[in-house]
Structure 1
Amino acid sequence: MKKRPFLLATLTVGGIFLFFLLVVFTAGYFHSGSMAVSVGDKIGVLEVEGPIDDAKRLIEQIRDFCERGSIKAVVLRINSPGGGVGPSQEIYAELKKLAAKKPLIVSMGSVAASGGYYLAIAGERIFANPGTITGSIGVIMSFPNYQELMGKVGVATETIKSGQYKDVGSATKPFTDADRDLLQNLIDDVYQQFIEAVSKGRNIPVDRLQPYADGRILSGRQAKEIGLVDELGTFYDAIDYAADLTGLGADPDLVYPEPIQKNLLDRYLDTMMSRYLGVDMFPVKMHGPLYLWSGY
């Protein structure tokens, strides 16, 4: 009789534990993008949304998916006009490492242009909607010039520099021919890196690729015609392809990275400013040469 309270307490605690375990698994079952509760082999989904200005977060996600044995293939969903050259190249390099270990399938959303397309060529199969905006293979740098405005208000800038080109791109002086030549040579080199990556990734000779690599945007259907895209299809077509490739069958479990957590104040301000003023509280800042479609 004396052991019954202990036994009852043990059964109660065990019952509570099993109840919460059941709740967790049930929630994971009904949440289509569950992260860690589903059991068995899965397809990982990585998302690139908006301008590419920082590689750190996505690289962490890529490496995590690369190391997880339960993830048998990865679908990269791109909805981006591109961004900084450096971040685009860093992410591309990590995607290539991932693709060497497990299938990497790409799905293009509304836009996968310039740097967004640069990331896409890391995949073994690229899906695009017929109306997806892609292409924009090229490089751009822009420099404001406030010299005339500053002169009107009586403001002048005196610059002491160690060399001829140390203040190249300054907003307070006009470009010289030498400045333009220097920057054009830089752009040409970074552009050539883009061309070479696309040529290698898509197995298209440079001379055949060159006419379409003048910065022009293309629809998904146009891109397929010239070999920049493999299939016309949706995100779920890409998922089905990855599932067939890995033998996971219909309706495979999908795994998404943990979402970025913002504090309550940041979420509130971001929502209010975006909804009522159309202002982004956390604007993207990019510098230097860009793999970017400026029409985004």
Structure 2
Amino acid sequence: MIKRQDKIFGLFILAGAIFLILLLLVMLRGMRSDSNLQFSGGTDKVALVELNGVITSSRSIVRQFEQYRKDQSIKAIVFRIESPGGGIAASQEIYEHVRRTRDAGKPVIASMGSVAASGGYYVALGADSIMANPGTTTGSIGVIAEFPNLTKLLDKLGIQMTVIKSGPLKDTGSPYREVTDRDRQYLQEWINSGYDQFIQVVARERNQDINHVRKLADGRVYSGQQAYNLALIDTLGTFEDAIALAAAAAGIKGEPRIIRQERRKTTPFDLLFTFDVKEFLETYFSAWPRVQYMLTI
């Protein structure tokens, strides 16, 4: 018979191994440098800003928009989006800097790839024009909160958590206890606030009645073609079409020169200095409940 202590120890070892694997995968995805620039094409410059994956931080994208907004040699920006969404505040910050760049008079074209949904759609709303492929997955306008319930597992392991709190809602979303009706009401109010912020931006940027937007914003996804028919985006086209549209908006004749932050191979030594482990841990493991503009299918 395996002792309970051995089972608990084994579970912790397994959890630790899974965590390390996930951390390694995220680190490998983050193995790139954004300190250098690579160029292609003609002489007039169009900058390419790429958003890939879950939105956990706004820093890199915001930094690029700030740089290109001030750079007079950059005539337009193509914002390429491959994202199912993510953090609410991070999505809002990116949107705000896209909008500021547009309002400063520098054309911004949002180009949607395979997926640009929820927060990935939100960030596109600040652009002069939103372009998607007919088969792009977009929409998913809404907010979702997720958190685990570990009470049954802890009961089986004989583990109890002692919680001392200043108020009844302080540990709402804790995985160590059941969700109460009061918790659900509180979380729903929080989610509704984020949802209202989302649909207000959609209504304003897409010039649509907010009640109409509310009908569209029930969390469902739309194909690029559907989104175009519903006026959630401006046009259909490929990435190359987005480049051409940006060049035309900037008055560039001929093929533009594409400038973007260079991707390069990164050594394990570089990871120690370029990958923000603290941010990753805080994003995925310290904050419950996690409330996001996120596509979950």
- State if a TM-score over 0.5 links the two structures: yes
Deviations 1:211-234 (A, max 9, x none): 210110000000000000111100
Distance 2:91 2:40 in 1: 32
Q: Which amino acid aligns with 1:151?
A: D
- 1:237 is paired with a residue whose SS is helix
Residue 117 (structure 2) aligns with: 113
Distance 1:283 1:231 in 2: 38
* Aligned positions of 1:1-296 closer than 5 A: 35=38, 40-101=43-104, 102-259=106-263, 262-264=266-268, 285-286=283-284, 287=287, 288-295=290-297
Structure 2: where are the runs of 5+ without partners?
1-35, 272-279
Residue pair 2:39, 2:258 contacting (<8 A) in 1 also: no
Structure 1: where are the runs of 5+ without partners?
1-32, 268-281
Residue pair 1:51, 1:284 contacting (<8 A) in 2 also: no
Deviations 1:37-63 (A, max 9, x none): 988431111000011101111111111
Distance 1:260 1:84 in 2: 27
- Tell me how large the CA RMSD over aligned residues is: 2.2
Q: Which amino acid aligns with 2:119?
A: G
Residue pair 2:102, 2:127 contacting (<8 A) in 1 also: yes
The alpha-carbon distance between structure 1 residues 260 and 283, as it changes in their structure 2 partners (threshold 3 A), is farther
Residue 274 (structure 2) aligns with: none
Distance 2:236 2:163 in 1: 54
Residue pair 2:85, 2:293 contacting (<8 A) in 1 also: yes
Residue pair 1:34, 1:254 contacting (<8 A) in 2 also: no
Residue 264 of structure 1: how far off its partner (Å): 4.1
Residue 13 (structure 1) aligns with: none
Q: Which amino acid aligns with 2:50?
A: E
The alpha-carbon distance between structure 1 residues 129 and 39, as it changes in their structure 2 partners (threshold 3 A), is closer
Residue 208 of structure 1: how far off its partner (Å): 1.2
The alpha-carbon distance between structure 1 residues 283 and 174, as it changes in their structure 2 partners (threshold 3 A), is closer
Distance 1:87 1:47 in 2: 15
Residue pair 2:43, 2:256 contacting (<8 A) in 1 also: no
TM-score, reference length from structure 2 = 0.79
Which structure ranks higher in relative contact order (CA pairs < 8 Å, sequence separation ≥ 6)? 2
Distance 2:121 2:213 in 1: 14
Larger strand proportion, structure 1 or 2? 2
Residue 22 (structure 1) aligns with: none
TM-score, reference length from structure 1 = 0.79
- 2:48 is paired with a residue whose SS is strand
Residue 263 of structure 1: how far off its partner (Å): 2.5
Distance 2:195 2:122 in 1: 11
Distance 2:282 2:128 in 1: 30
Residue 260 of structure 1: how far off its partner (Å): 6.9
The alpha-carbon distance between structure 1 residues 230 and 39, as it changes in their structure 2 partners (threshold 3 A), is closer
Q: Which amino acid aligns with 1:69?
A: Q
- 1:121 is paired with a residue whose SS is helix
Which shows bigger deviation, 255-264 or 114-123? 255-264
Distance 1:70 1:221 in 2: 34
The total of aligned residue pairs comes to 249
Distance 2:218 2:119 in 1: 14
Specify the structure having the higher radius of gyration (Cα).
1
Residue 265 of structure 1: how far off its partner (Å): 5.5
Residue pair 2:39, 2:257 contacting (<8 A) in 1 also: no
Distance 1:263 1:205 in 2: 51
Q: Which amino acid aligns with 2:141?
A: I
Residue pair 1:53, 1:284 contacting (<8 A) in 2 also: no
Distance 1:260 1:104 in 2: 26
Q: Percent of aligned positions with the same letter in both sequences?
A: 42
